[in-house]
Amino acid sequence: MDSLFLKTLNNEKSNRPPFWFMRQAGRYLPEYRALREKADGFMNLCLNSKLACEVTLQPISRFNPDAAILFSDILVVPYGLGVGVDFVEGKGPILDAVNDKSDLARLNYQVHKTRIESTYDTVQLCREKLSADKVLIGFAGSPWTVATYMVEGGSSKNYVKVKSWAYKDKASFSALIEIIVDATIQHLIAQIESGAEVIKLFDSWAGVLSPKEFKEWVILPTKEICEQLKSKYPSVKIIGFPRGAGPNYIDFVNKTSIDAVAIDTNVCPFWAANTFGKEVIIQGNLDPVSLIAGGDAMLRETSSIIKAMGSRPHIFNLGHGVLPETPPENVERLAAYIYSIDEG
Q: Tell me, yes or no, if 27 is annotated catalytic.
A: yes
- CA 274 – CA 283 distance, rounded (Å): 14
Residue of 16, 28, 32, 73 with catalytic role: 73
Q: Given the DSSP bridges, would you call strands 281-286 and 260-262 parallel, antiparallel or unpaired?
A: parallel
Active-site choice (16, 23, 127, 312)? 23
Strands lying side by side in the sheet with 198-203:
67-69, 135-141, 198-203, 237-242, 260-262, 281-286, 314-318
- The span from the CA of 272 to the CA of 221, in Å, is 23
Report d(CA 189, CA 79) in Å as an integer: 17
Catalytic residue among 2, 36, 287, 333: 36
Annotation marks residue 23 as catalytic? yes
Whole-number Å distance between alpha carbons of 218 and 241: 10
End-to-end CA distance of the chain: 24
Report the DSSP beta bridge partners of residue 283.
Answer: 262, 315
Decide if 73 is catalytic.
yes
Please enumerate in sequence order all residues whose Cβ is within 8 A of that of 140, keeping only pairs 6 or more positions apart, or say none.
74, 77, 146, 184, 187, 188, 199, 201, 202
Catalytic residue among 28, 109, 120, 149: 149
From the list 209, 317, 319, the residue with the least C-alpha distance to 221 is: 209
Q: How many residues are given for the chain?
A: 344
Strands 92-95 and 85-88, sheet pairing: antiparallel
d(Cα 281, Cα 312) in Å, to the nearest integer? 8
Rounded to 5 degrees, φ, ψ at 88 are -105, 125
Question: Looking at 2, 27, 86, 115, which residue is catalytic?
Answer: 27
Burial (0-12, 13-18, 19+ Cβ within 10 Å), 212: exposed
Question: 36 an active-site residue?
Answer: yes
Locate all alpha helices (DSSP H) within 96-200, ordered by sequence. Answer: 109-112, 118-129, 143-152, 160-168, 170-194
Distance CA 198, CA 176 (A): 26
Q: Is 41 left (phi over 0), alpha (psi -120 to 50) or beta?
A: left
- Residues labelled catalytic: 23, 27, 36, 73, 149
